[in-house]
């Protein structure tokens, strides 16, 4: 493995790991829904454990190849989550659905990415949550979630934080799944609310950009343009500095109004 870097390893294993994740999800779904036993169950469990081991090996290899392992570990907590839940790996495929291109603003690209990843995460968590709670609850005494339809209904109700109470987990693992779904729902609601608010504000200000406050970056760009024009026409340096000093400084107290715009 001489000369192999963490980035090179990630590029080589990206698609094989996505395929392995899809296989893991499909096989786990079949095992839980079909509820088979005997040799078929043993074969399915062996394949699931082998697939999960592949993700563990990938994570350990990337950690070992990292230049600064402590920093890499802090910056790749999502990878650690994927090792725990391999079905989340297909979320990387959602990148192709985000809005990109010259015509899309940065805000539009960010909102598109948040919307796509949010919807994909919710769909996957509902599916995996339904399977997980059914797998844990079905053999438990006194369980009321005993078929896949009820499990999906319970997952939707839990993610929406409605909580009818007609179905509920009785096992410790089932309650852990419920907590994960509820916490995720709170985060998704916040993301959706922020995304919609940002879109409404941008749409409302689309034809009223003269009312938008100038940012620090815009003021710096304006000062640079003034300097280049002045230098082109041979203005003295002291005149350029004097003109720059007369520009309002957005960082200086008193140069912004209450509405956020720059004072003259």
Domain segments of the chain: what residues?
1-89, 98-212, 213-264
pLDDT higher than threshold 80 for residue 77: yes
Dump the DSSP string for 41-102. Answer: HHHHHHHHHHHHHHHHHHHHHHHHH-SSHHHHHHHTHHHHHHHH-GGGGGGGGGGGGS--ST
Confidence band for 222, pLDDT divided at 50, 70 and 90: confident
pLDDT higher than threshold 90 for residue 64: yes
Phi, psi torsion values for 262, nearest 5 degrees: -80, 140
Q: Which helix (H) or strand (E) holds 107?
A: helix 106-137
Q: What would the mean pLDDT of 143-171 be, rounded to a whole number?
A: 91
Confidence band for 46, pLDDT divided at 50, 70 and 90: very high
pLDDT higher than threshold 90 for residue 253: no
**pTM passes above 0.85:** no
Give, as one character, the DSSP assignment of residue 146. Answer: -
Q: What would the mean pLDDT of 197-221 be, rounded to a whole number?
A: 67
**165 or 196, greater pLDDT:** 165
- pLDDT averaged over every residue in the chain: 78
- For residue 89, give both structure tokens: 């790996």
Q: Say which CATH topology domain 98-212 has.
A: Helix Hairpins (1.10.287)
């Amino acid at each position: 493995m001489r000369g192999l870097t963490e980035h090179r390893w990630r590029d080589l294993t990206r698609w094989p790991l996505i395929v392995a994740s899809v296989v893991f999800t499909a096989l786990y779904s079949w095992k839980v829904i079909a509820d088979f036993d005997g040799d078929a169950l043993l074969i399915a469990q062996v394949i699931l454990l082998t697939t999960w081991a592949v993700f563990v090996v990938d994570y350990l290899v990337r950690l070992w190849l990292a230049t600064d392992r402590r920093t890499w570990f802090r910056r790749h907590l999502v990878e650690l989550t994927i090792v725990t839940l391999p079905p989340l790996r297909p979320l990387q495929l959602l990148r192709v659905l985000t809005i990109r291109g010259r015509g899309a603003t940065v805000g539009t690209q960010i909102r598109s990415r948040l919307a796509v990843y949010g919807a994909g995460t919710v769909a996957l968590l509902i599916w995996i949550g339904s399977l997980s709670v059914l797998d844990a609850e079905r053999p438990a005494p006194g369980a009321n979630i005993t078929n896949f339809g009820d499990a999906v209904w319970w997952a939707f109700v839990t993610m929406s934080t409605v909580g009818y109470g007609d179905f509920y987990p009785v096992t410790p693992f089932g309650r852990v799944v419920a907590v994960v779904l509820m916490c995720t729902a709170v985060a998704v609601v916040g993301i959706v609310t922020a995304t919609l608010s940002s879109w409404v504000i941008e749409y409302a200000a689309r034809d009223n950009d003269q009312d938008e406050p100038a940012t620090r970056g815009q003021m710096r760009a304006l000062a640079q343009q003034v300097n280049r024009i002045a230098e082109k026409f041979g203005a003295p340096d002291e005149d350029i500095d004097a003109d720059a000093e007369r520009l309002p400084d957005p960082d200086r107290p008193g140069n912004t109004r209450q509405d956020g715009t720059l004072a003259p």
